[in-house]
């Protein structure tokens, strides 16, 4: 019996389902975006949302997976803390006066997650990894 994948599935379970093609990266992104909409509200755990970028990256990841490309986190939706410096997104580290979008990732954590997703350039929160995305 196939295991049902949902927002509480582990990363290992989601990656297994992606590789088995029982779920798409776009479907995983939609599951997580729905959960964020349902639960985040007053919690405000995800203050910067990049849903359109996540969907675009998920489509590209699905194409890459269909071509047989592999990377450790390819297609897996993920978020990074707002305090993690991420290219093109605001980062204030809790200091609103210092909010500036960054042109390139500078923090080791963001660069390493980005690299594991199969990308060669910039990481984006809630975006699945896509090889060669510029």
Given this model, what pLDDT does residue 88 score?
A: 73
Given this model, what pLDDT does residue 68 score?
A: 93
Angle at 113 between CA 127 and CA 107, to 5 degrees: 110
What pTM was estimated for this model as a whole? 0.71
**How far apart (Å, rounded) are the C-alpha atoms in residues 23 and 2?**
11
Nearest 5°: phi and psi at 101?
-70, 140
**How far apart (Å, rounded) are the C-alpha atoms in residues 41 and 18?**
29
To 10 degrees, the CA torsion angle through 41, 47, 53, 54? -60
pLDDT in tens, the chain (134 residues): 346 898 889 999 999 999 999 999 999 999 999 999 999 988 888 888 889 989 999 999 999 999 999 999 999 998 877 777 777 777 666 666 655 555 555 555 666 666 666 554 444 444 444 444 43
Q: Which residues, including other chains, have CB under 8 Å from residue 25's CB and lie 6 or more apart? A: 18, 57, 58, 59, 61, 62, 65, 75, 76, 77, 128
């Amino acid at each position: 019996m196939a295991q049902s994948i949902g927002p509480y599935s582990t990363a290992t379970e989601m990656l297994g389902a992606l590789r088995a093609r029982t779920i798409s990266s776009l479907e995983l992104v939609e599951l997580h975006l729905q959960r964020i909409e349902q639960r985040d509200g007053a919690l405000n755990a995800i203050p910067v949302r990049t849903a359109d970028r996540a969907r675009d990256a998920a489509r590209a990841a699905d194409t890459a997976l269909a071509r047989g490309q592999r990377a450790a986190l390819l297609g897996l939706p993920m978020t990074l803390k707002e305090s993690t410096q991420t290219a093109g997104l605001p980062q204030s580290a809790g200091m609103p006066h210092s909010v500036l979008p960054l042109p390139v990732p500078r923090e080791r954590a963001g660069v390493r997650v980005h690299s594991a997703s199969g990308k060669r350039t910039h990481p984006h929160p809630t975006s699945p990894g896509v090889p060669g995305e510029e």
